[in-house]
């Protein structure tokens, strides 16, 4: 097969010219921004994925078109490596250079990637592409596919799928189906089979009731949950709200990010009985949070930290009962509620590590354990099992029920990346086994009140952080001022960091009371505005009184 790099340039010039002059940054989870500027980025990512596939000996590489939790006008691209991880860090720089060169320089840049990485362009390559249900996604998917075709690669289009489904397809194909069949049906089959075996016909148990309200964020997670329901034969009664079919914009006033950050139910929440278990996923269904209202109408959130502690505690119980010796560990980020970390360290005696925001960092760290549990507070996470863990558990399962349960859990968990639906089925399984309702779950510890704010600045890159984003090193003096403010609050903690998915600086604060937390977040937000070049309207003080 001969490749003519001129074709790449011809495609770019004729169909996907670069229209934006601004430097495009590789963010927390790939490139993200306003959809109208992304055609050239997508075309070039099709080219990159093909090169990457050849570089990895023809393994399948995934390209997911989604802006996940962002508003509807945004779109983005997430690249999936052969084992289901996000694109290897060293290739982020290659991707960044490729999207930023001019159309005229493109051919030369592609040649440079080939040469620098010693890629044999005559070999075969395979790229899987999926997209969320934003109206501009099909156009961008075509751009990715054309990028693959320009280099004579093979492309397989999966249409509208969740991000974790695409990760699953990539791994399933690369493991020659050892992980499952690389089809949508194969994905449902694998998860539902494990879920139903784990239920073992016992749909209700103790305080656990077999029904939930599911907020699909008007995204792809709603559609796919409807497919699950069709196939689940009543093993879980799910009512889907914010289905995004006909009405409702993706993530608008609903979904996991809205519920977590606003600390309130989706706006369209129907009247339900107090303590009804509700769950929200985000636009591409890779994050999940739970919530409920009590008999006084007060809202309660069970976020990624709660899921992490529930899962970690349960896995620990099963490992102990199975009498096997495995190294368990939990990975969090700076956003983890201080109370959750205390609970994990003091009560569960689990080793905890803290890494920068982004699944790519958490996943990587979790691989250091036999069983690595990782969750961001925003509900993004999963569990990874080492080969040693899998073999040890399989052996123990010959004699121990607890190890058999562990084996089924491995099938239920989408190890490739955080998967809202798989995580939800895991939580439902644990609650069912324990006979717990939301009150039992939430009573394990008390969260510290916390608050997140977004601050608009001229250039978010003026903020630089260290120590897993818990300290700000630039602009000079900002951290000293934050420390002074934090010192005035009991159990106060706050940090600031530039978002890698939106053009904002994020402020996180926690303290002993809700009022203190709001005040602390506001004070730190003002410091960011003052010392990091704030723009836009004056920051309004958050108010927990509505909660
Ligand atoms: C992505 C990443 C997450 C990260 C989130 C927010 O999520 O995959 O790991 O927590 O962005 O990142 P930032 O604070 O840098 O904007 P998603 O669900 O939007 O793909």
pLDDT digits (tens, 9 = 90+) for 282-341: 999 999 999 999 999 999 999 999 999 999 999 999 999 999 999 999 999 999 999 999
106 Cα to the center of ligand 1, angstroms? 29
Q: Is 415 in the pocket of ligand 1 (CB under 6 A)?
A: no
Q: Is 380 in the pocket of ligand 1 (CB under 6 A)?
A: yes
> Which tens digits make up the pLDDT trace of 61-70?
999 999 999 9
Count of structural domains within the chain: 4
Compute the residue count for the chain: 547
Q: Is 281 in the pocket of ligand 1 (CB under 6 A)?
A: no
Q: Is 469 in the pocket of ligand 1 (CB under 6 A)?
A: no
Does residue 546 surpass a pLDDT of 50? no
Nearest alpha carbon to residue 133 among 230, 228, 248: 248
**Binding-site annotation, residues:** 68, 282, 284, 286, 376-378, 497-501, 506
Instruction: Classify residue 490: in a domain, yes or no.
Output: yes
Q: Is 162 in the pocket of ligand 1 (CB under 6 A)?
A: no
Instruction: Classify residue 444: in a domain, yes or no.
Output: no
Contact by Cβ (8 Å): 278, 272: yes
67 Cα to the center of ligand 1, angstroms? 10
Within this chain, do residues 401 and 390 fall inside the same structural domain, yes or no? yes
Within this chain, do residues 13 and 151 fall inside the same structural domain, yes or no? yes
Instruction: Classify residue 83: in a domain, yes or no.
Output: yes
Residue 502 CA: nearest ligand 1 atom is: 16
Answer with the one of 253, 286, 302 that is the final residue of a domain: 302
Q: What is the pLDDT at residue 61?
A: 98
Within this chain, do residues 42 and 146 fall inside the same structural domain, yes or no? yes
SS (H, E, C) 358-372: CHHHHHHHHCCCCEE
> Which tens digits make up the pLDDT trace of 346-383?
999 989 999 999 998 999 999 999 999 999 999 999 99
Q: Is 45 in the pocket of ligand 1 (CB under 6 A)?
A: no
Q: What is the pLDDT at residue 1?
A: 73
Instruction: Classify residue 433: in a domain, yes or no.
Output: no
d(CA 351, CA 316): 12
Does residue 475 surpass a pLDDT of 60? yes
409 preceded by cis ω (within 30°)?
no
Q: Is 287 in the pocket of ligand 1 (CB under 6 A)?
A: yes
Q: What is the pLDDT at residue 536?
A: 81
Which residue among 2, 20, 59, 68 is the active-site one?
Answer: 68
358 Cα to the center of ligand 1, angstroms? 6
Instruction: Classify residue 437: in a domain, yes or no.
Output: no
Q: What is the pLDDT at residue 116?
A: 98
> Which tens digits make up the pLDDT trace of 234-290?
899 999 999 998 889 999 999 999 999 999 999 999 999 999 999 999 999 999 999
Q: C-alpha 173: how far from its chain's center?
A: 22
Residue nearest atom 20 of ligand 1, based on CA coordinates = 68
Within this chain, do residues 313 and 254 fall inside the same structural domain, yes or no? no
CATH code of the domain containing 49 = 3.40.120.10
Within this chain, do residues 381 and 467 fall inside the same structural domain, yes or no? no
pLDDT confidence tier of residue 233, bands split at 50, 70 and 90:
confident
Q: What is the pLDDT at residue 544?
A: 60
Instruction: Classify residue 182: in a domain, yes or no.
Output: no
pLDDT confidence tier of residue 410, bands split at 50, 70 and 90:
very high
Within this chain, do residues 324 and 471 fall inside the same structural domain, yes or no? no
Q: What is the pLDDT at residue 314?
A: 97
Answer with the one of 357, 389, 415 that is the final residue of a domain: 415
Residue 362 CA: nearest ligand 1 atom is: 9
Residue 286 CA: nearest ligand 1 atom is: 18
Residue 418 CA: nearest ligand 1 atom is: 8
Answer with the one of 415, 440, 471 that is the final residue of a domain: 415
Within this chain, do residues 105 and 238 fall inside the same structural domain, yes or no? no
441 Cα to the center of ligand 1, angstroms? 26
Average pLDDT rounded to a whole number, residues 208-233: 97
Residue 333 CA: nearest ligand 1 atom is: 10
Within this chain, do residues 254 and 326 fall inside the same structural domain, yes or no? no
Residue with tokens 């004579």: 152
Phi and psi at residue 50, to the nearest 5°:
-65, -45
Pocket test for ligand 1, best of 500, 503, 506 (most atoms within 8 A of CB): 500
Domain residue limits at 344:
304-415
Instruction: Classify residue 251: in a domain, yes or no.
Output: yes
Within this chain, do residues 26 and 155 fall inside the same structural domain, yes or no? yes
Is residue 68 part of the annotated active site? The answer reads yes
Pocket test for ligand 1, best of 66, 130, 258, 380 (most atoms within 8 A of CB): 380
Contact by Cβ (8 Å): 531, 481: yes
d(CA 154, CA 88): 21
Pocket test for ligand 1, best of 28, 220, 286, 469 (most atoms within 8 A of CB): 28
Cβ atoms < 10 Å from Cβ of 538: 8
Q: What is the pLDDT at residue 541?
A: 85
Pocket test for ligand 1, best of 29, 92, 287, 332 (most atoms within 8 A of CB): 29
Within this chain, do residues 358 and 315 fall inside the same structural domain, yes or no? yes
pTM, to two decimals:
0.95
Q: Is 28 in the pocket of ligand 1 (CB under 6 A)?
A: yes
Q: What is the pLDDT at residue 547?
A: 41
Within this chain, do residues 67 and 11 fall inside the same structural domain, yes or no? yes
Instruction: Classify residue 55: in a domain, yes or no.
Output: yes
85 Cα to the center of ligand 1, angstroms? 15
499 Cα to the center of ligand 1, angstroms? 8
Low-confidence winner among 1-10, 208-217, 345-354, 464-473 (lowest mean pLDDT): 1-10
> Which tens digits make up the pLDDT trace of 41-83?
999 999 999 999 999 999 999 999 999 999 999 999 999 999 9
d(CA 201, CA 196): 7
Q: What is the pLDDT at residue 20?
A: 85
d(CA 493, CA 433): 36
Mean pLDDT (the chain) is 96
> Which tens digits make up the pLDDT trace of 151-204?
999 999 999 999 999 999 999 999 999 999 999 999 999 999 999 999 999 999
Pairing assessment for the beta strands 211-215 and 126-131 based on DSSP bridges: unpaired
Q: What is the dihedral of CA 396, 398, 403, 404, to 10 degrees?
A: 160
203 Cα to the center of ligand 1, angstroms? 34
Within this chain, do residues 283 and 315 fall inside the same structural domain, yes or no? no
470 Cα to the center of ligand 1, angstroms? 17
Residue 335 CA: nearest ligand 1 atom is: 10
**Which residue(s) pair with 240 in the sheet?**
214
């Amino acid at each position: 097969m001969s490749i003519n790099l001129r074709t790449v340039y011809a495609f770019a010039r004729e169909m996907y010219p670069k229209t934006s002059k601004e430097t495009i940054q590789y963010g927390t989870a790939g490139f993200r921004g306003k959809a109208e500027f992304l055609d050239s980025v997508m075309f070039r990512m099709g080219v990159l994925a093909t090169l990457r596939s050849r570089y990895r000996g023809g393994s399948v590489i995934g390209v997911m078109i989604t802006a996940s939790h962002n508003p509807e006008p945004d779109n983005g691209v997430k690249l999936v490596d052969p084992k289901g991880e996000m694109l290897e860090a060293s290739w982020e720089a290659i991707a960044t250079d490729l999207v930023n060169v001019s159309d005229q320089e493109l051919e030369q840049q592609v040649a440079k990637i080939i040469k620098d990485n010693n890629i044999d362009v005559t070999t075969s390559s395979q790229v899987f592409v999926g997209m969320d249900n934003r109206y501009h996604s099909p156009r961008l998917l075509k751009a990715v596919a054309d990028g693959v075709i320009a280099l004579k690669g093979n492309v397989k289009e999966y249409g509208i799928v969740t991000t974790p489904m695409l990760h699953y397809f990539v791994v399933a194909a690369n493991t020659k189906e050892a992980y499952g069949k690389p089809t949508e049906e194969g994905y449902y089959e694998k998860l539902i089979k494990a879920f139903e075996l784990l239920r073992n016909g016992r749909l209700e148990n103790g305080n656990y009731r077999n029904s939930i309200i599911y907020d699909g964020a008007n995204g792809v997670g709603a559609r796919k949950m409807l497919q699950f329901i069709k196939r689940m034969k009543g093993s879980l009664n799910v009512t889907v709200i914010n289905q995004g079919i006909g009405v409702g914009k993706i993530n608008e006033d609903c979904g996991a990010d809205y519920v977590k950050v606003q600390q309130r139910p989706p706006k369209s929440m129907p009247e339900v009985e107090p303590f009804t278990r509700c769950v929200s996923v985000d636009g591409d269904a890779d994050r999940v949070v739970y919530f409920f209202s009590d008999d006084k109408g007060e809202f309660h959130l069970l976020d990624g930290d709660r899921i992490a502690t529930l899962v970690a505690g349960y896995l620990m119980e099963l490992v102990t009962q199975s009498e096997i010796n495995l190294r368990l560990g939990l990975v969090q980020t700076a956003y983890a509620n201080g109370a959750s970390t205390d609970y994990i360290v003091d009560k569960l005696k689990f080793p905890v590590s803290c890494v920068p925001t982004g699944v790519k960092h958490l996943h990587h760290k979790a691989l250091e354990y036999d069983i690595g549990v990782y969750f961001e507070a925003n509900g993004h996470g999963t569990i990874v099992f080492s080969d040693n863990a899998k073999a040890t558990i399989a052996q123990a399962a010959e004699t121990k029920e607890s190890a058999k349960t562990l084996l089924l859990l491995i099938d239920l968990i989408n190890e490739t990346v955080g998967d809202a639906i798989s995580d939800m089925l895991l939580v439902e399984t644990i609650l069912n086994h324990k006979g717990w309702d939301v009150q039992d779950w939430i009573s394990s510890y008390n969260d510290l009140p916390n608050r997140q704010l977004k601050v608009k600045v001229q250039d978010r890159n003026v903020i630089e952080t260290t120590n897993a984003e818990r300290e700000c090193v630039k602009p000079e003096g900002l951290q000293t001022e934050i420390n002074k403010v934090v010192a005035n609050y009991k159990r106060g903690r706050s940090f600031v960091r530039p978002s890698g998915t939106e053009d904002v600086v994020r402020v996180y604060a926690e303290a002993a009371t809700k009022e203190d937390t709001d005040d602390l977040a506001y004070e730190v937000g003002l410091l960011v505005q003052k010392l990091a070049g704030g723009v836009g309207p004056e920051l309004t003080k958050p108010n927990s009184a509505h909660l």
